[in-house]
Structure 1
Amino acid sequence: MASSADSTQPPREQRIGPVLRRRSRIQRGTMDQHLLDSRQRSAEYVHEDPWRVLRMQAEFVEGFGALAEVGPAIAVFGSARTAPGSPDYARGVEIGRALVEAGFAVITGGGPGAMEAANKGALEAGGLSVGLGIELPFEQGLNQYVDLGVNFRYFFVRKTCFVKYAEGFVVLPGGLGTMDELFEALTLVQTRKVTRFPIVLFGTEYWGGLVDWLRRTVIAEGKASERDLELFHVTDDVQEAVQLVSKEAADGGRRGI
């Protein structure tokens, strides 16, 4: 019987920073998991934390170095579960293409679905297509339309790079990860940790319930201000989305994160 090494199927892969692991060398868990898992709070683990700080520092250095010359760029977020051929996927391709035509590079999370769609549109339009990937227990890897890719171990380092190198965000329909990026950006703008930059939610039907909840519950109960609804725009029109991020990016310039 042929061994697994002789199989015609490609082996499972795991990429952790510059390291490639296959088969029995694949590690369980992620760096975020090892850092945050309270079950591993032993005296021995505490002594390892200073070394983890150096690894985090290295991720910042590598990320900043790779992205420093990207130029004006817009980050596009959306669900990894968006199916190719679906309306949301098609809109992602259109948005990626239109952003390049407006003079921007396109930055996504580098994964499949809506991220792949935006990268595909950017590449087809002849622009710079960037992917900022993340180490996950279920390995996805960067999609084939990424020209410049950086893989991160830690979510917070990756999110810093998104905000630092994007002039604005376009947010396609997505799940918890998409909302995490959205509310991170809204919080930074609301608290003036960064100079205001455009945040566009694409898809009025999809995002309408969230906007209604913010207005009728969060703002109505005094947990946010009516002015906070002005921190973002909602649209179904590709050209309007591009015009909104283009105008505000030009007015606001770079932020000092």
Structure 2
Amino acid sequence: MSQVWPYLPARAVNITSLAEFDRLAAEALGFQRSRGRSWRVHRVDLRGRDTVLAALDLAEALFIDCQFSEAGRALVQGTGGLCMDSGEQLPFRTSDRGLYTPEELYEGISTQTYEHVPDARIYTYSQQHGPRQLLSDDQAMASTLHDHHVGQALISEVYDGAFKDTPIIGVMGGHALSRGTEQYAQALDLGARLTRAGYAVATGGGPGAMEAANAGAWLADRGREEISTALQMLAAEPDAIHRRTGWARTALAVKARFPSERTSLGVPTWFFGHEPPNLFATHIAKFFANATREALLLEQSNGGIVVLPGSAGTVQEIFQDACENYYATGARVVPLVLVGREHWTRTLPAWQLLKALAAEQIMEDKIALVDSVAEAVEFIGGMQSLRRRTRF
């Protein structure tokens, strides 16, 4: 029986020859945004392609066991691409384990570049096999066992561990939100407000709005001036995709300057492995399977969902949660708040569809559209948190 590699993006572009690379590069360069979106380039000799590499945006591309000229690798990395050597040793544990910590995923980042830390090595492993290749039973079982144990560890922390006494608020938002922007500061303020109000913040664990909300939880006990300083420090390295190493090291510098006892949850995935996990989530449940990750993040957000401006992935999360609420009994509906009237009514008019879907349903009184994070926290605070299901 053939096996399908379940952790490779369905629309990933697998390039295994120089001819394929040249054809797709020419096609990409014909568009205004010359992007190598979802490219996975395997064992291709690119030593004569420096001019093409310099012209492409390769922020979402992964080059595995490729050959480059002396300048070629730097050209790829300069635009945000990852150049990795596959190796043969399994880079993750399949046995019973707890959740990840930032220190575990980023081990060595202080002295080495991102490409050498465990998070990057595991991502490379997950992308080695194209959809036309067969997995051995051992390979398929390794990733499945990993996700099983991480999922069990997450449930354990929710019911019996770090988050057992606090309602969890899921904060959703775009990964492209840059440090140094007003929107990033607002997302950080949301995380801080929720944490001070007695909630636990849970995000998709990546950069952008997700990092900001986790950073807000970390800095919840700091005053306005200290938070302003932290924001200024982070703004020095705003780009998580093109400058992963500097982006990560700056977060470490902020954490070192402003120690914290606060906890928050990040639930990222190697399915979108070009987006590095943020270092402010203290507990990280990182999965290979994105569907598992999405389901668990929404299911465990028993206090409510706050949705900041985002794009396709954020819209998906809105309606994935709305579907759960639509079919839930009254006791199982959780509040859902969209932040940003202009964004959610005009830029991406999800609010109109959400409101129509909720009409005359139990969820109708538990959705809201607001303009500020303060309003979002106030709305959430007026709702009763969902009582967690018993474990057994």
Normalising by structure 2, what TM-score?
0.51
Once residues 125 and 238 of structure 1 are traced to their aligned partners in structure 2, the CA distance between those partners, rounded to angstroms, is 15
Query: Does the Cα contact within 8 Å between 2:265 and 2:283 map onto a contact in 1?
Result: yes
Once residues 218 and 359 of structure 2 are traced to their aligned partners in structure 1, the CA distance between those partners, rounded to angstroms, is 39
How far apart are residue 76 of structure 1 and its match?
A: 0.6
Task: Evaluate the alpha carbon distance shift between residue 156 and residue 14 of structure 1 in structure 2; reply closer, same or farther with a 3 A threshold.
Answer: farther
Higher Rg of the two aligned structures: 2
Task: Evaluate the alpha carbon distance shift between residue 53 and residue 82 of structure 1 in structure 2; reply closer, same or farther with a 3 A threshold.
Answer: closer
Query: Does the Cα contact within 8 Å between 1:14 and 1:26 map onto a contact in 2?
Result: no
Equivalent residue for 2:332, pick from 188, 195, 199 = 195
- 1:27 corresponds in structure 2 to 125
Show the 5 A alignment for 1:121-132: 121-126=216-221, 127-132=262-267
Structure 1: tracts of 5 or more residues without a match: none
Once residues 114 and 358 of structure 2 are traced to their aligned partners in structure 1, the CA distance between those partners, rounded to angstroms, is 52
Larger RCO, structures 1/2 (Cα 8 Å, 6+ apart): 1
- 1:242 corresponds in structure 2 to 377
Once residues 193 and 210 of structure 2 are traced to their aligned partners in structure 1, the CA distance between those partners, rounded to angstroms, is 15
Q: Could you say which structure has the higher strand fraction?
A: 1
Check if 1:253 corresponds to 2:344: no
Task: Evaluate the alpha carbon distance shift between residue 64 and residue 236 of structure 1 in structure 2; reply closer, same or farther with a 3 A threshold.
Answer: same
> Which stretch has the larger CA shift, 121-130 or 181-190?
121-130
Task: Evaluate the alpha carbon distance shift between residue 12 and residue 50 of structure 1 in structure 2; reply closer, same or farther with a 3 A threshold.
Answer: closer
The residue type equivalent to 1:129 in the other structure is S
Per-residue CA deviations over 1:153-194 (Å, capped at 9, x if unaligned) read 111221232123212110000112212221111000101178
Q: Could you say which structure has the higher helix fraction?
A: 1
Show the 5 A alignment for 1:69-80: 69=161, 70=163, 71-80=166-175
| Count of equivalent residues | 234
Show the 5 A alignment for 1:133-212: 133-136=268-271, 138-166=273-301, 167-192=303-328, 195-209=332-346, 210-211=349-350
Equivalent residue for 2:154, pick from 54, 63, 77 = 63
Task: Evaluate the alpha carbon distance shift between residue 52 and residue 130 of structure 1 in structure 2; reply closer, same or farther with a 3 A threshold.
Answer: closer
SS at match of 1:170: strand
Once residues 154 and 338 of structure 2 are traced to their aligned partners in structure 1, the CA distance between those partners, rounded to angstroms, is 26
Task: Evaluate the alpha carbon distance shift between residue 175 and residue 15 of structure 1 in structure 2; reply closer, same or farther with a 3 A threshold.
Answer: farther
Query: Does the Cα contact within 8 Å between 2:306 and 2:336 map onto a contact in 1?
Result: yes
Taking only aligned residues, the RMSD between alpha carbons, in angstroms, comes to 3.6
Once residues 78 and 182 of structure 1 are traced to their aligned partners in structure 2, the CA distance between those partners, rounded to angstroms, is 10
Per-residue CA deviations over 1:34-65 (Å, capped at 9, x if unaligned) read 7xx5x45x7x7799867765454333223223
Once residues 299 and 205 of structure 2 are traced to their aligned partners in structure 1, the CA distance between those partners, rounded to angstroms, is 17
Q: Percent identity?
A: 27
The residue type equivalent to 2:127 in the other structure is G
How far apart are residue 27 of structure 1 and its match?
A: 2.9
Show the 5 A alignment for 1:208-223: 208-209=345-346, 210-211=349-350, 213-214=352-353, 219=356
Equivalent residue for 1:108, pick from 197, 203, 215 = 203
The residue type equivalent to 2:334 in the other structure is F
SS at match of 2:267: strand
> Which stretch has the larger CA shift, 99-108 or 120-129?
120-129
